[in-house]
Amino acid sequence: MSNTQGQPQTNEQAAHGMSQVRQRVVITGLGAVTPLGNDVTSFWQSIRAGRCGITPISAYDATDQAAKLAAEVHIEPGEYVSAAEARKMDRFTLLALIAAREALRDSGISAENTNLERADVLVASGIGGLATTVREHLRAQERGWDRVSPFYIPTTIPNMAAGRIAIDSGFRGDSSCVVTACASSSHALGEAMRHIRHGYADVVLAGGAEACVIPLAMGGFTSMQALHTGSDPARASIPFDLERSGFVLGEGAGIVALESLEHALARGARIYAELSGFGATCDAYHMTAPDPEGTGAARAMRLALADAGITTSDVGYINAHGTSTPLNDKGETLAVHAVFGAGCTVPCSSTKSMTGHLLGAAGAVEGIVCALAVSEGFLPPTINYRVPDPECDLDVVPGTGRNAEVRHALSNSLGFGGHNASLVVSEYH
């Protein structure tokens, strides 16, 4: 038995359908639940229009807390699942399930055209079911520790979004969860690409979800001095602006359907773009602060470009991590300059100016942005940018988006623990 390059194939490779031929990986389905819309169409329309999804917190009374703004998702769970099912899911799992269903519908993948034993689910969450933990802790204090819900443990664990999506879709390949803080769902997309590229799977539903706009999380980030505490949504999440003072916590989910080009073509799928490169590194510097020189982030970008087989001159757009914190935006600017040169002119915007920071879901939602930027030739803006920072001297596409040809887009995600992940999304041809 041999592979298409004439090399002997091991029994293990044969058993798992593995190939030593590097498969091209394409994006055939998109799903999103965000502060800018509960489906990809409304989300993308809001991105193109430069709409801000940041508002005063409505999920609870934030009167006694310093941070009073968030980027919330507004949904009625009963429109998507039964009341009984909703009680068995943390909000992050519900958002992931909604997005996954949209991505699956959009892709047209089904049991009729796909071997579901070679269909994986890689869905990340940076924090998981924190809201459920808080609720059950309060319940236990009132009623006794043996009176917590029997669904508490399976509801709160971060891998349950992937598990529920697998149950819902019938995907019986690998189902797992990457946890690398705010880089989680970029890692999920990158690892999913590798699963397909190296022959472990034909199809992967990949992405991430987060839902922790709750007092405990807001308080934790506030005490770290990471959150913006002002009251004006238009001056809250302002990446690369000199007056930036912290990020705005958001919630949401982004799921993409990935598959091998061969599989997509065989079933006549529509292809948005190609996921062509992935690079991951660690700063090995600090628990929460990024390397101030951006060294690790720069290496991740270089690795992603090399993996995609392109150079810096091929990149037409960078979706920055761009959190609106002083340290992140300055360090990321240095990283971009280290890779693209001191005179970098590549447009580099942060859509977190519109969505807030979705933590573990951010990378997947921004990956969707890049797929649509490539397929439609549009550069999303950094909205509410007013005061240039000399230390963040990038073309942040201020205020209004632009029509432009984008053959390759680079997406950056940086997480607590020093985790860096970069993805390259390329025009399909």
Residues 130 and 241: their CA atoms lie apart, in Å, by: 31
Radius of gyration of the chain (CA): 21
The answer to whether residue 228 is catalytic is no
Catalytic residue among 228, 263, 321, 408: 321
Contacts of 151 (CB under 8 A, 6+ apart): 87, 88
Locus of tokens 């990457």:
178
Residues of 76-87 as b/e, b for ≥16 C-beta within 10 angstroms?
ebeebbeeeeee
| H or E stretch at 34 | none
Nearest Cα to Cα of residue 352 among 257, 240, 277: 240
Q: Are the CB atoms for 171 and 202 separated by under 8 Å? A: no
The answer to whether residue 282 is catalytic is no
Residues 219 and 228: their CA atoms lie apart, in Å, by: 12
Catalytic residue among 52, 177, 182, 370: 182
Residues 127 and 184: their CA atoms lie apart, in Å, by: 10
Contacts of 401 (CB under 8 A, 6+ apart): 47, 48, 50, 378, 379, 380, 381
Using CA atoms of 174, 179, 183, 184 in order, give the dihedral in degrees to the nearest 10: 40
| H or E stretch at 281 | strand 273-282
Catalytic residue among 195, 357, 408, 419: 357
The answer to whether residue 321 is catalytic is yes
Structure-token pair, residue 315: 């990149």
Rounded to 5 degrees, what angle do the CA atoms 126, 39, 276 make? 60
| H or E stretch at 206 | strand 203-210
Residues 232 and 234: their CA atoms lie apart, in Å, by: 5
HSE-up of residue 372 (Cα within 13 Å, Cβ side): 21
Residues classed as catalytic? 182, 321, 357
